[in-house]
Amino acid sequence: MHHRNRAHTDGNSHTTHKTAPAAANMNIDTEIMSLNGDEKENRTYYNLAKRRWIVLYVLIPSALLIGLLHGARKHTQHLYNGTGWMNPRTIAVNTIGETKFARCDLHTVRSEDGNSVVNDWLFLEEVNAVNIVIQTAEGKFIVFEQEKYAIPGKTLSPVGGFIDENESPLTSARREVLEELGLGSKATLEKAMQMSSSSVSIDAKIQGSPVEQMKRLIQLTALPDEVESFPTADPNQFISLSTGNIPLGENDPDWIFLGRYRTAANRGGGFLYSYLLKNAIPIVPNGGTAQYVSEGDDESQSLAFLNVEQLMEMVSGGRFQEVKWAATFALSLLHLKDGMVGCCGGNRQSAGLCFGDKCS
């Protein structure tokens, strides 16, 4: 007895001896035919179904591959200017989105004990920044009052901004103070005047506005160490206060480095370099006054001049509503607590701050 079996290689039928597999195939085919009563129609239906599955198996992976390639192409533009973070536990990094100043990545990270892997470690890359607390030669602290996108209402804030490409943190801090307030240190002004062989207004030897001229002179007076050491610094390396406080010229005691800090311990957010500028003086016309028109920042802000008592009250009262700002001001107050003129009779052993005639 012979049974018909389908040969899909050439589209024709042929007879074979009955075997167990053939019988199984026959039973399946017979059931298919019995549904419609027509073998030819069922063979066509069977072939079309197989082809549909083949098409799906081919198209779905292809579509996924095209999507991945498209996503990879989109991020090869390298909009973000900063350096990405990895450590020995990092297995892979995939970029979700980026701009010039920030990038959102998804890290695959091995656990500390090496026994598990986290596949959805969200990490934010952000260009490193500086914050500067400014104390004038008269002992007043200059702060801004302004609004910020992620802070409800108004807040107090220091001078600050992103570190430009190929710019050291100290040069960035000097530039930001100049742009936003027209202030600087005595050593900065003296160096600029020596460079220009001119007065404080800085004549036409360097083109542009007084601020642009001074910015250029700040760049020209930067020490080689100041320029070269920071852009190539290993982000994994701890930077101590002594190594980070690069002096301007032989000595600039008015610029105090308060440290470099990661802004979010597990999620990145870039590094912050905190500085204190003591004895700040005007280095361009109207510097440090309400008449000075700031450059490089289009945010609306007003100036406030605080004594140490008022500043302490603002810090402890939460008026600086970003943690980096509050930390930079607190670090500045800690640095100044033993060195304020007339504080506690000049007793540097005192553990407190000087508030008027009282020492806490």
Q: How far apart are the first and last CA of the chain?
A: 111
pLDDT reported for residue 33:
46
Outline where the chain has alpha helix (H). 20-36, 39-75, 169-181, 186-196, 210-220, 224-228, 241-244, 308-316, 323-336
Alpha-carbon distance 229 to 246, whole Å? 10
Domain assignment present for residue 318? The answer is no
Residue 137 and residue 120 share a domain: no
Residue 53 and residue 10 share a domain: yes
- Paired tokens of 210: 């007084």
Residue 261 and residue 203 share a domain: yes
Residue 109 and residue 37 share a domain: no
Residue 116 and residue 57 share a domain: no
pLDDT reported for residue 81:
74
Alpha-carbon distance 98 to 123, whole Å? 12
Q: Along the chain (360 residues), what's the average pLDDT of each consecutive run of 10 residues? A: 43 42 48 49 58 54 46 54 87 94 96 97 96 96 96 97 90 93 91 65 57 74 49 51 46 89 95 96 90 76 95 98 98 83 44 47
pLDDT reported for residue 230:
44
Q: How many domains does the chain have?
A: 3
Domain assignment present for residue 313? The answer is no
Q: Is-contact 274 327, C-beta < 8 A?
A: yes
Residue 163 and residue 150 share a domain: yes
pLDDT reported for residue 212:
79
pLDDT reported for residue 42:
55
Domain assignment present for residue 341? The answer is no
Q: Tell me, what amino acid is at 41?
A: E
Q: Is-contact 250 187, C-beta < 8 A?
A: no
Q: What is the CA radius of gyration of the chain?
A: 34
Beta bridge partners of 261: 272
User: Which residues span the domain enclosing 122?
Assistant: 79-126
Give the rounded distance of the alpha carbon of 188 from its chain centre: 29
Residue 137 and residue 251 share a domain: yes
Residue 183 and residue 273 share a domain: yes
Three-class DSSP category at 81 = coil
Q: What is the DSSP string of 214-247?
A: HHHHHHHTS-HHHHHTTTT--TTS---HHHH-PP
pLDDT reported for residue 236:
55
Residue 42 and residue 97 share a domain: no
Residue 148 and residue 84 share a domain: no
pTM: 0.68
Domain assignment present for residue 322? The answer is no
